[in-house]
Amino acid sequence: GSLDRRDDRLSQVSEESSMRGSGPMANDSWRGPVSRPPGLGGVFQYRDSLRASGSGRGTGNSDILGRLNIAEPTPEQQMADQLFDQAADYWSKGNLIQAEDLFNQALREDPNHVPSLCSLGVYLYDVKHDHEKAEKLYKRALHLDPQNVNTLCNYGWLLHDVRRDHDGAEKLYKQALKIDPDHIMTLCNYGALLHEYLHDVRGDLNDVEKMYKKALRLDPYHIDTLNNYGLLLHKTKRDIGGAEEMYRRVLALDPNQVDTLCSYAMLLKEDKNDPAHAKMLVQRAQRLDRSHPWIQANQANYLNFI
């Protein structure tokens, strides 16, 4: 989930802002909503929430631990907590290699350190694209702590996005929301899963929209939800004005979102008859990520005109 609260600069989106970004993106024949892997936020959610989840880590109060019937953390567990916090600091600054090293150090101190297991799984999934190892870490983390919503959400996304195991993903998303009905990233990803299902069968999308709206009530700045809701409004509900508002809000919060640049370019060219503006957005996206699948497939249609 989003960690910081940023001013909504919707009216201040600059067409000349520099951007960077990556991720899968639907092409002109829409194939479902985009929802980037949830784990980048999950690393920090662990820092804020794990210690309140009954794990007993980092409370520093033996009376409280005794009343909860939780053993005081061992020196190894305390060291693993410290290393995890350092890793999260590196992660937040974009120093992912250093973060990976510290997650591994934490696991050498305490092989059962759940936040490090899941966060290292996120790194393997999202950065190294080693889905097999990531899945093993998620499974181990859930074996140790079956109620951890961050792990449930992250593993659910892997099943959804990589394994295409929609039933398995839905089971994990439902379990996470039963534990925490306000878990924003799960709301976002479960909404994306239902959107994909229901778009295929032309079903009722009210539940999808409710999930996105609830997530945005909880965090109006949540980029993944804004982007997914924009796609729902754009390609399924055909609410062009609403979709444009979502895309502009994303780019106001983070002008480096290549997925949203491409979606907004599609809207401008196809629905608002503004190919010049669309071309500008695609050029900006191309400067950021020439290998992006949508750009590879569509750049000629957007860039080669007078």
In the predicted model, residues of the chain with pLDDT beneath 50 are 1-68, 306
The pLDDT of residue 198 is: 66
The pLDDT of residue 50 is: 38
- Of 214, 228, 251, the closest CA to residue 157 belongs to 228
Residues contacting residue 212 through CB under 8 Å, at least 6 positions apart: 187, 188, 191, 225, 228, 229, 232
For the segment 40-78, what is each residue's pLDDT rounded down to a tens digit? 334 444 444 433 333 334 333 444 344 445 578 899 999
Q: Whole-prediction pTM value?
A: 0.75
The pLDDT of residue 94 is: 85
The pLDDT of residue 47 is: 44
The pLDDT of residue 43 is: 45
The pLDDT of residue 199 is: 63
The pLDDT of residue 176 is: 96
Residues contacting residue 211 through CB under 8 Å, at least 6 positions apart: 187, 188, 190, 191, 194
For the segment 251-263, what is each residue's pLDDT rounded down to a tens digit? 999 998 999 999 9
